[in-house]
Structure 1
Amino acid sequence: MACFEANLDKQFEKISNRHPCFGGEASMTKGRVHLPVSPICNIQCKFCKRTFNKFEQRPGVTGKLLTPDKAAALIDKALEFCPEITVAGIAGPGDTLVTPHALETFKYVNERHPQLINCLSTNGLLLERYAQDLFDAGVKTVTVTVNAVDPEVLQHICSSIVLDGKRYEGLEGAQIHIEAQKRGIKKMAELGAMIKINIVLIPKINDFHIAEIAKTVQALGAAIINIIPLIPQHELSDVPAPTCEELNKARVAAEKFLPVFRHCQHCRADACGIPGQGDLSHLLYEYSGLDQTFSHG
């Protein structure tokens, strides 16, 4: 166990020095490009509002969708604008594992730019199913959004899930989702991927539950946690965003189990550049018109 933990610490140090979403110093000096190739989501979170536009700075937003081959080719252009880019990431605008587009994109990227870190963000519902394929395609860092590990809590955050063509709601859907996430995180970590856990902090819904989430994902092999303040919208538009004090309290609770990343920029699904130093997506993508082919799934 001590040997495993030492290897994990060494691997984490190597990744965090190059990945702006895993290390604080890297977030100021290293860049990433998000490739918006995943159109559909298989869960409906009550705070999630996916859309097309050029101005909102938050997850679930992009100006257009790209095909896997065009996304991979675009990295050459991104590296011209920002040579500091070390990460090719896919974070939506839907879930990255519902369609094969993300996996296809990473295969292209890994062939053309093996020096880049391939990074996937997912809700984890299908992570176990595609873990080996992702790892074989060069995906070595994975971010999983885990907002609760108790279905009694998660049912107030996630309205429904769709798995293999069947919709599940309430406690049943929450239970299926949580167990799938656990299996997926464990399998991906065992393969050797570095796992970051995103938690959306929602006052009076999961704010009391942060330590339990952190304890659970630590045991599954996660390496770091990122706590994101709720953006009030959609079904949770009446829930206030957490205060700085509430956010800090949650981070302290999580840090008893895992390191906490504190430099998140709420990045779009088409973000490009060094986080916090200005987004270059307006240069990278030709937004002459918005591509409205996205399905809310």
Structure 2
Amino acid sequence: MLNLHNTDQIKSKLNTTTHPCYSSKAQHKYARIHLPVAPACNISCNYCRRDYDCVNESRPGVTSKVLDPEAALERFQIVRKKLNNLSVVGIAGPGDALANWEKTKRTLELILQDEHENNDDCHSEINFCLSTNGLLLPELAEQIVALNVRHVTVTVNSIDPKIGAQIYNSVNYHGITYTGTEGAELLIRNQLEGIKKLVDLKVLVKVNIVMIDGTNDSHIPEIVKKLKELGVFTTNIMGFIPVKGSVFENRKPTDPKNIMKMRLICGKHLQQMSHCKHCRADAVGMLGKDCSGEIFEIRKKCKNHVEAG
């Protein structure tokens, strides 16, 4: 039996060539599956609203349904048989992977065990990936690595608490809610500490930055410089998308031209991702070519949104 806590039994190769988010070339060849097992979130962002049951939206935080770990394993097994180019299993919400740690952990344990028991040379090696806001990273970094996760994406929108206070409505840390600069400062401190821990543990860290005009846009180069100091692999500067029902619903979306300009500026300091597709929490297939509708029965119309959490 595989000992999930014995890292000698777990492959630790850092693979970017088969991870479509970490390699622009890989996006044209390899597929990924996102398993929506993490509904709750421990921070409240002014640009975010997490909805279920909306197949017509393609953005983070959206899924048709939330799965328990056992159902997630079954979904993985089905996709594994259908897609020989599947190379990544990711947990990207619809909330925060670490805020739902027991569910996230159980899901990864089940898939690791399944992969160990059904090793098939016909399939590509699977990379395990998590997305998080980073609030709980300092205390969970070692456990993440013990589960063979070698790729982690952290969303960092500010390293200045005053700017962060304009983006984050609240931060819930171990049952205590913090707001304003106090909440932003706590989140930023944990994000930076957690990222450094992951890098020291040989994890490839990608950082997403949501570019919000008039809020953090001029601050982004400073963020990127700090992330370079920490050893981050790449940053993904994403455009802000107005979401109905969010605090920022009436703001204008980020101009793609401004995003490209910012990537050029920040590319002088750190490698930039430029092929992000704003994937859903239940995405299946290659980037920009979701095939979940071909594999699973997907509803054609959205019902009333139900906020996750």
Whether TM-score is above 0.5 comes out as: yes
C-alpha contact 1:39 1:294 (8 A) present in aligned 2: no
Distance 1:251 1:294, change over 3 A: same
**Distance in 1 of aligned mates of 2:106 and 2:265:** 38
**Aligned residue identity for 1:247:** I
Distance 1:295 1:280, change over 3 A: same
**Aligned residue identity for 1:58:** R
C-alpha contact 2:40 2:99 (8 A) present in aligned 1: yes
User: Does residue 43 of structure 2 align to residue 33 of structure 1?
Assistant: no
Q: Higher mean Cα deviation, 230-239 or 56-65?
A: 230-239
Cα displacement (A) at 1:292: 9.8
Partner residue, 2:248? 236
The Cα offsets for residues 4-58 of structure 1, whole Å up to 9 and x where unpaired, read as xxxxxxx99x622110011100011111000000010000000101001222111
Distance 1:294 1:93, change over 3 A: farther
**Distance in 2 of aligned mates of 1:128 and 1:34:** 24
C-alpha contact 1:63 1:291 (8 A) present in aligned 2: no
Cα displacement (A) at 1:199: 0.4
Cα displacement (A) at 1:204: 1.1
Alignment TM-score, normalising by the size of structure 1:
0.91
Cα displacement (A) at 1:291: 11
1:171 is paired with a residue whose SS is helix
**What pairs up with 1:5-24 in 2 under 5 angstroms?**
15-24=15-24
1:185 is paired with a residue whose SS is helix
Partner residue, 2:5? none
C-alpha contact 1:40 1:295 (8 A) present in aligned 2: no
C-alpha contact 1:147 1:200 (8 A) present in aligned 2: yes
The Cα offsets for residues 99-128 of structure 1, whole Å up to 9 and x where unpaired, read as 211111111222223631000000000011
C-alpha contact 1:18 1:26 (8 A) present in aligned 2: yes
Identity of matched residues, %? 37
Distance 1:291 1:95, change over 3 A: farther
**Distance in 2 of aligned mates of 1:51 and 1:160:** 19
User: Does residue 72 of structure 2 align to residue 71 of structure 1?
Assistant: yes
User: Does residue 207 of structure 2 align to residue 197 of structure 1?
Assistant: yes
Cα displacement (A) at 1:294: 7.2
**Distance in 2 of aligned mates of 1:74 and 1:291:** 23
C-alpha contact 1:197 1:226 (8 A) present in aligned 2: yes
**Aligned residue identity for 1:30:** Y
C-alpha contact 1:38 1:92 (8 A) present in aligned 2: yes
Residue of structure 2 aligned with 1:273, choices 270, 274, 285:
285
C-alpha contact 2:30 2:85 (8 A) present in aligned 1: yes
Residue of structure 2 aligned with 1:188, choices 194, 198, 203:
198
Partner residue, 1:167? 177
C-alpha contact 2:93 2:281 (8 A) present in aligned 1: yes
Partner residue, 1:207? 217
Alignment TM-score, normalising by the size of structure 2:
0.87
Residue of structure 2 aligned with 1:260, choices 244, 253, 272:
272
**What pairs up with 1:279-294 in 2 under 5 angstroms?**
279-287=290-298
Cα displacement (A) at 1:80: 2.6
C-alpha contact 1:84 1:274 (8 A) present in aligned 2: no
User: Does residue 258 of structure 2 align to residue 246 of structure 1?
Assistant: yes
Partner residue, 2:60? 59
C-alpha contact 2:56 2:302 (8 A) present in aligned 1: no
**Aligned residue identity for 1:275:** L
Partner residue, 2:87? 86
4+ aligned runs moved over 3 Å, structure 1: 283-297
Cα displacement (A) at 1:159: 0.6
**Aligned residue identity for 1:147:** N
CA RMSD of aligned residues (A): 2.1
Distance 1:291 1:75, change over 3 A: farther
**Distance in 1 of aligned mates of 2:302 and 2:254:** 32
**Aligned residue identity for 1:237:** E
C-alpha contact 1:218 1:258 (8 A) present in aligned 2: yes
Partner residue, 1:221? 231
The Cα offsets for residues 242-291 of structure 1, whole Å up to 9 and x where unpaired, read as 21221012112221221001100010000000112x21122444446999
